[in-house]
Amino acid sequence: TPGAVRIGVDAPGAVRIGVDAPYESAKAVLLDSVASANRCRAVWNSDLGFTTVVGFEPDLEAVELLFTSLLVQGTAAMTKAEAGQRAGGRKRTKTFRQSFLMAYAQRLGSRLAADTERVTAAAGSEPGAEGQEGDTGALLPVLAARDVAVTDTAEQMFPRTTTTRLRGATDAEGWTHGTAAADRARVGRGGPEIRR
d(CA 26, CA 166): 9
Beta-ladder partners of 52: 16, 43
pLDDT of residue 58: 95
pLDDT of residue 77: 97
pTM of the model: 0.82
- As a whole number, the mean pLDDT across the chain is 85
- The pLDDT of 126-147, averaged and rounded, is 65
Residue spans of the domains in the chain: they are 13-186
Residue pLDDT, tens place only, 77-116: 999 999 888 777 777 788 999 999 999 999 999 999 999 8
d(CA 168, CA 153): 31
User: Are 85 and 96 in contact, with CB atoms under 8 Å apart?
Assistant: yes
d(CA 33, CA 119): 16
- The pLDDT of 35-48, averaged and rounded, is 95
- Amino acid letter at 175? W
User: Are 20 and 44 in contact, with CB atoms under 8 Å apart?
Assistant: no
Phi, psi of 6 (to 5 degrees): -110, 140
